[in-house]
């Protein structure tokens, strides 16, 4: 395909469900003229409590479908799928820019002198080798406390962002860390930024909250620019939402999350 045609193909954004919309929002902010196809695998969510093999298989299957539609790059807007599959995906598709999100441990560990940093993520993200290596890299600079959060993404998948059940769940999950007992929290799953206000309320107002969405979007911009693949369009790009569940409410929820600030 000619470079000019390639430039105008959409960017694919993949997640296990609706959470990756938090990354898509950042992409649309810094690359507003690109077209996007967002694919959420809500039928098989959550990924974070599955086995490594299952997450790899599901990720390869859906990414394969996305590539078959013709896309010029892929953002894996899922920390869990990134830890399970990004390396293998890059091996399988060597010519395509593939950017995967990972927990924003680096900015959190460096924002002040030796902070205590709570990392909220799925059980798989925390268990995987990729996260262990990330933690090792910063453990001299910060006290890093990994916290698996099974059950948290399900609230966001249901569109429950502020309910009493979520508040109760977070109060229990974070009971040891309330009242500003940590300096920072990393939202290491792309669903969690949609519960940021409640997480902040439970942890305390002085806690700095980090997530990897913006950094991931910046990295995709850098990669596309490096490959001379940025769209030449001047009008606003289009976003197409797809989901493995044939449920119009899922698409509706994605749109609502995309439009929320
Ligand atoms: N949104 C995903 C992540 O960033 C995973 C949630 C899940 O499917 O468990 O890790």
Q: Are residues 132 and 220 in the same domain?
A: no
231 and 143, same structural domain? no
| Average pLDDT across the chain, whole number | 97
> Which of ligand 1's atoms lies nearest the C-alpha of 50?
9
Task: Say if residue 118 is in the same domain as residue 171.
Answer: yes
Looking at the fold, whether 224 and 207 belong to one and the same domain comes out as no
Question: Is 80 exceeded by the pLDDT of residue 159?
Answer: yes
Query: Phi and psi at residue 160, in whole multiples of 5°?
Result: -95, 95
Task: Give percent of the chain above pLDDT 90.
Answer: 98
Query: Would you place residue 1 in the very low, low, confident or very high pLDDT band (cuts 50, 70, 90)?
Result: confident
For residues 14-40, give the mean pLDDT: 98
| Mean pLDDT value across residues 78-103 | 97
Whether pLDDT at 261 is above 70: no
Containing structural domain, residue 50: 3-100+213-259
| CATH number of residue 202's parent domain | 3.40.50.1860
pLDDT tens string 199-252: 999 999 999 999 999 999 999 999 999 999 999 999 999 999 999 999 999 999
- Are 10 and 95 in a shared domain? yes
Atom index in ligand 1 nearest the CA of residue 190 equals 4
**What average pLDDT score do residues 96-103 get?**
98
Q: 79 and 91: one domain?
A: yes
Kindly report the three-state secondary structure assignment for every residue of 107-137: HHHHCCCCCEEEEEECHHHHHCHHHHHHHHH
The count of domains in the chain is 2
Q: Same domain, yes or no, for 207 and 217? A: no
At residue 143, the 3 state secondary structure works out as strand
Residue 168 has pLDDT above 70, yes or no: yes
Residue 195 confidence (pLDDT):
98
Residues 197 and 226 in one domain: no
The answer on 111 and 186 residing in a single domain is yes
Q: Could you tell me which residue, 261 or 183, shows the higher pLDDT? A: 183
Q: Is 15 in the pocket of ligand 1 (CB under 6 A)?
A: yes
Nearest to 58 by CA among 91, 66, 35, 249: 66
Tokens of 182: 């940590």
Query: Residue 181, class by beta-carbon neighbours within 10 Å (0-12 exposed, 13-18 middle, 19+ buried)?
Result: middle
pTM, two decimal places: 0.97
Contact 31, 219 (CB under 8 A): no
In the residue annotation, 78 being an active-site residue is answered as yes
Dihedral sign from CA coordinates of 74, 78, 81, 84: positive
**C-alpha triplet 240, 53, 51: angle, nearest 5°:** 95
71 and 197, same domain (yes or no): no
Q: What is the DSSP string of 201-244?
A: HHH-TT-EEEESHHHHHHHHHHHHHHTT------SPPPEEEEES
195 and 121 fall within a common domain: yes
Pocket lining: 22 vs ligand 1, CB cutoff 6 Å: no
Q: Tell me which DSSP letter residue 159 carries.
A: T
Please count the other Cβ atoms lying within 10 Å of the Cβ belonging to residue 135: 19
Q: Is 42 in the pocket of ligand 1 (CB under 6 A)?
A: no
Active-site residue flag, 149? no
Same domain for 7 and 48?
yes
**pLDDT tens by residue, 105-119:** 999 999 999 999 999
């Amino acid at each position: 395909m000619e470079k000019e045609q390639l430039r105008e193909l959409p960017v694919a954004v993949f997640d296990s469900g609706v959470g990756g919309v938090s990354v898509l929002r950042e992409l649309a902010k810094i690359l507003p003229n690109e077209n996007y196809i967002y694919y959420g695998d809500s039928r098989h969510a959550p990924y974070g409590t599955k086995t490594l093999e299952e997450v790899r298989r599901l990720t390869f299957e859906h990414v394969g479908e996305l590539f078959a539609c013709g896309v010029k790059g892929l953002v894996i807007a899922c920390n869990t799928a990134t830890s399970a599959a990004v390396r293998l995906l890059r091996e399988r598709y060597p010519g395509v820019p593939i950017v995967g999100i990972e927990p924003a441990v680096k900015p959190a560990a460096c924002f002040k002198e030796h902070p205590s940093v709570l990392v909220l993520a799925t059980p798989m993200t925390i268990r995987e080798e990729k996260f262990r290596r990330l933690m090792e890299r910063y453990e001299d600079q910060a006290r890093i406390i990994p916290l698996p959060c099974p059950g948290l993404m399900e609230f966001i998948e249901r569109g429950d962002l502020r309910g009493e059940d979520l508040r109760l769940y977070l109060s229990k999950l974070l009971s040891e860390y309330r009242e500003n007992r940590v300096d920072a929290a990393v939202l290491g799953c792309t669903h969690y930024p949609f519960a940021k206000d409640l997480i902040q309320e439970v942890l305390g107002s002085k806690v700095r909250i980090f997530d990897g969405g913006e950094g991931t979007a910046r990295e995709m911009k850098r990669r596309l620019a490096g490959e001379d693949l940025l769209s030449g369009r001047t009008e606003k790009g289009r976003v197409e939402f797809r989901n493995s569940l044939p449920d119009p409410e899922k698409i509706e929820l994605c749109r609502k999350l995309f439009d929320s600030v």
